Structure 1
Amino acid sequence: MKNKWKIGMIFILILIVGVGCNNQEASDGTPTEDTNQQVENTELLISTAASLTDAMTEIEKAFEDEYSDIDVSFNYGSSGTLAQQIQQGAPADAFLSADQKWMDTLEEENLILPETRIDFTGNKLVLISQKDHSLEISSFEDLNPAEIGDLAIGNPESVPAGTYAKEVLTKLNKWEGLEKHLILAKDVRQVLTYVESGNTELGIVYSSDAFISDQVKIIAEASSDWHTPVIYPAAVTADSKNADSAKRFIEFLQTEEAQSILNQFGFIK
């Protein structure tokens, strides 16, 4: 009986010592199974107008410095193409458009959250050529079908910069005369590339696009009376699974830090 009692006491002591060691490991900060588990960051995918590419690279860094638990990636393209992707069910947590038309379209179809919609920046429309190209043109009014080669613009059906360009040329009664000279691009950055490479003599882009290139020069700026105001809206998509984080990103676009970055890249408020 005494031996059984002794064995029982030894077993109890072993249990007490074992529990004490485990508690000591936790109190010393030694990783346990729970503390080894890492919390995954929220991943945001933002469908973004191509003209915002360079500015968003910097804004992404600034945002992630402030919100280290959120990782942002961008799907760049023309606003029309991006809107159509969202209509077809492509994943996106937010939409940053280069015009109001495509955002209005998504809102009418209940594909964005209207209460999150804001206007966060603006732009100007300019006529450009290669930097070393000598053309006797100093304004949009000088565009003469008999005196110019090809003119690149975004496709007016899906590219806001192209829609604005068509409005300008129509206002100046030049659209019909220049139609045969037009090279239609998939987005405004492709227009810039056409001019930089010399594939076209001229192009119509945003001032922010010309700003980031050292291979083109601005010939003229379109009067704001000739086209719809170039305003960039943003909104969280209705199907976003990370709506709160996406809303944080959109709110960040309105901060002084983000606005300063946009200004540095030629955007206007």
Structure 2
Amino acid sequence: MRRKNLILTATAMTVCLLAAGCSSNQTSKDADKDVTLTISAAASAQDALEEIQNNYEKTHSNITIQDNYGSSGALQKQISQGAEADLFFSAAEDKFQKLVDDGDIAKKDSTDLVGNEIVLVVPKNGDSPVKHFDDLTKSDTEKIALGTPESVPAGAYAKESLTKLSLWDKVKDKIVYGKDVRQVLSYVETGNVDAGIVYKTDALVSKKAEIADEADADKHSPIVYPLGIVKDTKHRKEAKEFYEYLQTDEAMKVFEKYGFTAE
């Protein structure tokens, strides 16, 4: 009888050890499972984000980050309509707040991450008649590019600045609108317009456009980039970890390298 009990005990221990081993292996597999995170981000953040993501993926081999760049207004509408996204990085507070108000992003899962500036850019070939904002009214300044104000935050800030400078009514008929700030920059780089208004961060990464003038901060609303975790994310743990990484000193140094300011 005693031998039978010993055999049963040994068998039970073996089963427990095997079960524990399987559980441990399963936990390990779950921890290392491959995950693709989608971040819907303002086009102006592209260069900084891609460097930050490359750095992150080097130490998180199971994470792949894919980007959906565009104007903040268009991205906000996509998320509102159910487009798949794990994080939203907006160039405008009002577009972001719309998602918070609608319950698509929880306030506790959001933060004001960085700031930016608005600048006037011209082609680097030196042919543009524009040297300052006032030059936009010159007769030989024929075309000026900016983002569509209703959907492109940089365009809204540009219109706001031009209005406060008492220039909007004088130049509005010269405006060529772009679907996002990168399209505006490309119009300038290719010489299709005499000047454009973009974020300082876009101007700094361009090799074919240069800054002619800068808009004073009091000429437009504060330029703030909010970041948040989309409520319907299927990868909350991984999204939260990347959300927190974007706020670290390591990530902020990259943002600052590209011209963003810390909030």
Q: TM-score, normalised by structure 2?
A: 0.85
- Quick one: distance in 2 between partners of 1:195 and 1:164? 18
Residue 134 of structure 1 and its aligned partner are, at CA, apart by 3.7
Which residue of 109, 130, 135 corresponds with 2:123?
130
- Quick one: distance in 2 between partners of 1:56 and 1:87? 23
Aligned partner of 1:45: which letter? Answer: T
Q: Does 2:71 match 1:78?
A: yes
- Identity over aligned residues, as a percent? 42
Q: Does 2:143 match 1:150?
A: yes
- Quick one: distance in 2 between partners of 1:186 and 1:135? 23
Q: Secondary structure at the match of 2:137?
A: coil
- Quick one: distance in 2 between partners of 1:131 and 1:163? 25
Aligned to 1:203: 196
Name segments (4+ residues, structure 1) moved above 4 Å: none
CA contact (8 A) 2:130 2:141 kept: no
Aligned to 1:183: 176
CA contact (8 A) 2:129 2:141 kept: no
Aligned partner of 2:260: which letter? Answer: F
Mapping 1:27-46, distance limit 5 Å: 40-46=33-39
CA contact (8 A) 2:131 2:213 kept: yes
CA contact (8 A) 2:129 2:194 kept: no
Which residue of 121, 135, 140 corresponds with 2:133?
140
Aligned to 2:247: 254
Aligned to 1:48: 41
Residue 137 of structure 1 and its aligned partner are, at CA, apart by 3.6
Residue 247 of structure 1 and its aligned partner are, at CA, apart by 1.5
CA contact (8 A) 1:49 1:79 kept: yes
Give a deviation string over 1:150-191, Cα, whole Å, max 9, x none: 000000010000000010011112112211100000000000
- Quick one: distance in 2 between partners of 1:53 and 1:136? 30
CA contact (8 A) 1:95 1:237 kept: yes
Q: TM-score, normalised by structure 1?
A: 0.83
Give a deviation string over 1:25-57, Cα, whole Å, max 9, x none: xxxxxxxx99xx895312110001001111111
Aligned length in residues: 237
Q: Does 2:116 match 1:98?
A: no
Aligned partner of 1:221: which letter? Answer: E
- Quick one: distance in 2 between partners of 1:108 and 1:129? 39
Aligned partner of 1:218: which letter? Answer: I
Aligned to 2:54: 61
Residue 145 of structure 1 and its aligned partner are, at CA, apart by 5.0
Q: Secondary structure at the match of 1:240?
A: coil
- Quick one: distance in 2 between partners of 1:169 and 1:267? 22
Tell which deviates more after alignment, 130-139 or 199-208.
130-139
Residue 86 of structure 1 and its aligned partner are, at CA, apart by 0.4
- Quick one: distance in 1 between partners of 2:254 and 2:191? 30
Which residue of 208, 224, 232 corresponds with 2:225?
232
5+ long unaligned stretches in structure 1: 1-32
Residue 135 of structure 1 and its aligned partner are, at CA, apart by 4.0
- Quick one: distance in 1 between partners of 2:143 and 2:180? 17
Aligned to 2:186: 193
Aligned to 1:113: 106
Aligned to 2:80: 87
CA contact (8 A) 1:145 1:178 kept: no
Q: Which of these two proteins has the greater Rg computed from alpha carbons?
A: 1
Which residue of 209, 213, 216 corresponds with 2:206?
213
- Quick one: distance in 2 between partners of 1:129 and 1:137? 7
Aligned to 2:163: 170
5+ long unaligned stretches in structure 2: 1-24
Aligned partner of 1:263: which letter? Answer: E
Aligned partner of 1:205: which letter? Answer: V
- Quick one: distance in 1 between partners of 2:60 and 2:71? 28
Tell which deviates more after alignment, 58-67 or 104-113.
58-67
